[in-house]
Amino acid sequence: MIRVLLAEDQGMMRGALALLLGMEADIEVVAQVGAGDEIVAAALTARPDVALLDIELPGRSGLEAAAELRAECPDCRVLILTTFGRPGYLRRAMEAGAAGFLVKDGPVEELAEAVRRVLRGETVVDPALAAAALGAGPNPLTPREAEALRAAVDGATVADIAAALHLSESTVRNYLSAAIGKTGTRNRTEAAREARRQGWL
């Protein structure tokens, strides 16, 4: 019996996946969580063989949780399941020690099969996506540039961002300008879009 932990914020999706996996003869869903900061605790008590993690979760990102799981629960394999096949997400997932990376497109049958394969020690990644991730270089943004860009997405002004990051306004403008240059865009909004598309944020 393969013990699976399921982390997914959308209730209906989570319930549907749990039911589907539960119908498989060799799979058992032993824990379900809807927030990223509940993953590690749930894994420590439920002791799953495979953790099926969404990336975009309230509380903590599935990627951060994956890294922590590697440390706290070394014999639990991580399978990332996400809406967005962003190259940077795949890269970060692999760096975090994930054993597989699935996008929510594609048929449901893939899912149970992927669970079994990661448990056998295989690495499950869509080949086309892997190529894209390798093709696009690594994240060129420095940590601070990425932070400034993140803070800018919802329309915050330079003053807002400076206050949030405890920086001077000049520094913020420099970071944003650098990010705009590195993304090859024309303003912070385009830069944020592109960075998000690449999975750099």
Partner DNA sequence: CCACCCCCATGACATTTGTCCTGGCCAGGA
Partner DNA sequence: TCCTGGCCAGGACAAATGTCATGGGGGTGG
Total interface residues for a copy of itself by CB under 8 A: 31
Q: What is the DSSP letter of 119?
A: H
According to CB under 7 A, which one of 117, 174, 193, 197 is a site residue for DNA? 174
Piece in contact with DNA (CB under 7 A), picked from 1-9, 35-43, 50-58, 182-190:
182-190
Residue 153, SS3 per DSSP: coil
Pairing outcome for strands 2-7 and 27-33:
parallel
**Rg of the chain over all Cα atoms, to the nearest angstrom:** 18
Structure tokens at 140: 């060129």
What x/- string results for residues 91 through 130 when contact with a copy of itself is judged by CB under 8 A?
Answer: -------------xxxxxxxx-------------------
Looking at the Cβ atoms of 83 and 171, the one nearer to DNA is: 171
* Burial (0-12, 13-18, 19+ Cβ within 10 Å), 170: exposed
The answer to whether 50 and 76 are in contact (CB under 8 A) is: yes
Select the binding partner of residue 104 from a copy of itself, DNA, none (C-beta < 5 to 8 A, by kind): a copy of itself
At residue 82, what are phi and psi to the nearest 5 degrees?
Answer: -135, 160
Smallest gap from residue 14 Cβ to a copy of itself (A): 9
Sequence letter at residue 172:
V
Does residue 167 touch DNA according to CB under 7 A? Answer: yes
Does residue 120 touch DNA according to CB under 7 A? Answer: no
Q: Which of residues 154-193 bind a copy of itself (CB under 8 A)?
A: 154-155, 157, 185-193
According to CB under 8 A, which one of 15, 22, 138, 181 is a site residue for a copy of itself? 15
Read out DSSP for 63-80?
A: HHHHHHHHHH-TT-EEEE
Residue ranges in contact with a copy of itself by CB under 8 A: 10-13, 15-17, 19-20, 83, 104-111, 153-155, 157, 185-193
